[in-house]
Amino acid sequence: MKTDPNIIPLVFFGTPSLVVPILQKLTEHFQVQGVVTAPDKPVGRKQILTSSPVAETAQKYGIPVLKPEKLDEEFIKNHLPFLNADLYIVAAYGKILPQQLFNIPRLGALNVHPSLLPKYRGSSPIPAAILNGDKVSGITIIKMDAKMDHGPILYTKEIRMSDQDTFDSLSIKMFEEAAEILIEVIPQYIKGKLTLKEQNHQAATFTKLITKKDGFFEITNPPSLDKLDRMIRAYYPWPTAWTRWNNKVVKFLPEGLVQMEGKKPVKLEEFLRGYPNFPLKEL
């Protein structure tokens, strides 16, 4: 049954395509007063200025969109209060939110985090789980405070990982599940039926921002096959696991594919027929 949209007006903070299912679900069940997302960015070879997937989705629904370069005091004061939201929902927005922001809606802000907090706080919990060979990860909904991924927990759900999961596939799985979770959790939170549980901060672990360099390995000293498999899956579709050979970039992709710079991805067997001297003979 559709929740009365007049009860829970909210604002959604998010950016990539992975969290579009969350915005769609929120729009179906609640009154989304506005969306805050990353500014337009140049995309592709022609560097065409392009809106984020969340912005494009919001525009289709006729939802007002804000794209601040900085979430500073002036922007917050001049824009956020006028959206008249009772609650903020945050999922992969891409910037740290200041405490001032959480003081505006009467119910604060809830964050969707793709790990079982306090494990893997920070910007790359999904690659971290794959790289570490975890069998279980999950979704955590927290009430946000001034520190990163630090606030009390409202809800957690474990999600099984497979040895085929990539960053891409696991992210899709997690955020689609999170969309379903939120439509149940938000009304319970509003009614005060959920107990906030403080995280065990002593047990917290942290992840870092992924860079292009993280996917690199020396072809003369490659990782073990198991570690390489985890790198391939954790860093797909970006930055990929990659190396340099004969002054060319060689990328390693899921399903046993290898891509020479300027060429199409092929299976390793076919790659080795074209480049028989390539040092890595198995994946």
By the 10 Å C-beta count (0-12 exposed, 13-18 middle, 19+ buried), 14 is classed as buried
* Number of C-beta neighbours around residue 151 at 10 A: 24
Secondary structure of 140-151 as H, E, C letters: EEEECCCCCCCC
Q: Is 257 annotated as a binding residue?
A: no
Which string of DSSP letters, residue by residue, matches 87-121?
EEEEES-SSPPPHHHHTSSTT-EEEEESS-TTTTE
Q: Is 127 annotated as a binding residue?
A: no
Helical packing angle, 20-29 and 53-60, nearest 10°: 30
Q: How far apart are CA 262 and CA 147, in angstroms?
A: 43
- Which of 164, 182, 135 shows the shortest CA–CA distance to 8? 182
* Number of C-beta neighbours around residue 201 at 10 A: 10
Residue with tokens 């579009």: 20
Q: Is 124 annotated as a binding residue?
A: no
Q: Is 118 annotated as a binding residue?
A: yes
Q: How far apart are CA 39 and CA 46, in angstroms?
A: 18
* Number of C-beta neighbours around residue 243 at 10 A: 20
Indicate the annotated binding residues for (6S)-5,6,7,8-tetrahydrofolate. 115-118
Binding site: which residues?
115-118
